Amino acid sequence: MLNMHSTPPSTPDADPAHGADPDPDPDPDPGTDPGTDPGTGRDAAVDPSGTDPDRTTRARIRDAALRCFADAGVSDTSVRTIAAAADVSAGLVIHHFGSKDGLRVACDEHVAALVRSRKQEAMRQGPGLDPVAALRAHADGPPVLAYLAATLRDGSPQVAELVDELVADAVSYMAEGEANGLLQPSDDPYGRAAVLTVWSLGALVLNEHVGRLLGVDLFADPAQASGYFLPALELLGRGVLTEGLYDQARASFAGETDPEGSP
């Protein structure tokens, strides 16, 4: 699980490329992120739209960073760029987050919380779920999908924590989907959640090729992305293998065949 308290020390970097300010401005109201549980560091009660009801300076900086990272990538975005987008000084960014890596961890945690909240909201709708409406409901929120693609491309030790949290959350909301009659039960809930998460994240990273092959931009209006979602739904809903081949392949990978290859 991501932990915002494990971020790097708050020592400003004098390298102008990182945008650090050697003389941080005092913050009139440092406060804490209104969506953060001080005991765990997780975004505890996040509006699925991604909109904070109380726009603290910390939340405004985090949201500006999320958009900047999504647009240009993490490594190519400086603290000064983020500060300008948030209309604060670079020193104030360092004051709140300690470093650009600390700010990135805060963005990762916020994005994981948004994904978790949105998926839970969808699963709770049960058989009446309208997936296009569910996706479009958050179109005006933070660029979550573009951010995930950017942070996965750039890589860092924190990425593993982000992916782990996304998988753990998927296990939980998919169990809720089973209970509500949306999903089939699984013999391996964790494995299923991990594979689907990796597939989904991979598609985001390869969005340029998704567009080239299918004429779809996964970061744009989901109603215009049927070229991707319809084949995906066919795979998930109808499957690909015949029942006989599935049983044979499953037995082989599970080691349930004899030396001659017969079940």
Is a pLDDT exceeding 60 seen at residue 39?
no
What is the distance between the alpha carbons of residues 35 and 220, in angstroms, rounded to a whole number?
27
Nearest to 231 by CA among 201, 193, 203: 203
For residues 62 and 36, the answer to whether their CB atoms sit within 8 Å is no
**pLDDT confidence of residue 141:** 73
Is a pLDDT exceeding 70 seen at residue 42?
no
Residue 36 DSSP symbol: B
Residue 59 DSSP symbol: H
What is the distance between the alpha carbons of residues 39 and 194, in angstroms, rounded to a whole number?
27
The sign of the CA dihedral 79, 84, 88, 90 is positive
Question: Whole-prediction pTM value?
Answer: 0.72
Q: What is the pLDDT of residues 174-214, one digit of tens each?
A: 999 999 898 999 999 999 999 999 999 999 999 999 999 99
Q: What is the mean pLDDT of residues 39-44?
A: 44
For the chain, the straight-line distance linking the first and the last C-alpha, in angstroms and rounded, comes to 41
**pLDDT confidence of residue 60:** 94
Q: What is the pLDDT of residues 144-182, one digit of tens each?
A: 999 999 999 887 778 898 999 999 999 999 999 999 898
Is a pLDDT exceeding 80 seen at residue 20?
no
Average pLDDT of the residues of the chain: 80
CA distances from 225 to 165, 204, 231 (A): 27, 13, 11
**Is pLDDT larger for residue 25 or for residue 139?**
139
- Band of the pLDDT at 30, cuts 50, 70, 90? very low
CATH architecture of structural domain 4-224: Orthogonal Bundle (1.10)
Q: What is the pLDDT of residues 98-128, one digit of tens each?
A: 999 999 999 999 999 999 888 888 888 877 7
User: Which residues lie across from 43 on neighbouring strands?
Assistant: 36
SS3 at position 43: strand
Domain assignments of the chain as residue spans, ordered by start: 4-224
Query: What is the CA angle 144-218-135, rounded to 5?
Result: 65
- Report DSSP letters for 215-231, one per residue: S--TTS-GGG-HHHHHH
- Report DSSP letters for 152-221, one per residue: HHH--HHHHHHHHHHHHHHHHHHHHHHHTTSS---S-HHHHHHHHHHHHHHHHHTHHHHHHHHS--TTS-
